[in-house]
Amino acid sequence: MECRVGCGACCIAPSITSPIPGMPNGKSAGTRCKQLDDHNQCRLFDSLDRPDVCGSFKASEDVCGDSFDEAMQQLSVLERLTSSKM
């Protein structure tokens, strides 16, 4: 599966603990990454500054669903299930 252009759910729903340019402490779950532009596209997508965790994410139907809303829901569930704060 290819990423849906303009989705950006993977840059909003999950927490990211590694540094991101503009977000040196990463980001909490549900927080919009500062590298998302107004069209929900990553400004770092083809950049060497893109964090490894972001580059290793692979879109798949079971994670991304058929829409932004499904992706947000499914990624939020995965975040809760894998959170160390459980």
Count of beta carbons in the 10 Å neighbourhood of residue 63: 18
pTM attached to this predicted model: 0.90
What residues pair up with 42 in beta bridges, in sequence order?
Answer: 36
Can you give the residue range of the structural domain that contains 14? 9-82
Question: Quick check: is 54 in a domain?
Answer: yes
In a domain, 3, yes or no: no
Q: Looking at the 3D structure of the chain, how many domains does it have?
A: 1
What pLDDT, in 10s, does the model give residues 12-42? Answer: 999 999 999 999 999 999 999 999 999 999 9
Residue 55 belongs to some domain of the structure: yes
> Is residue 1, in this structure, part of any structural domain at all?
no
pLDDT of residue 83: 83
CA angle 50, 70, 86 (to 5 degrees): 75
If you search the block for the tokens 């590694």, which residue do you land on? Answer: 18
Quick check: is 63 in a domain?
A: yes
Q: Is residue 4, in this structure, part of any structural domain at all?
A: no
Whether residue 16 is contained in a domain is answered as yes
- In this prediction, residue 85 carries a pLDDT of 62
Residue at 2 is within a domain: no
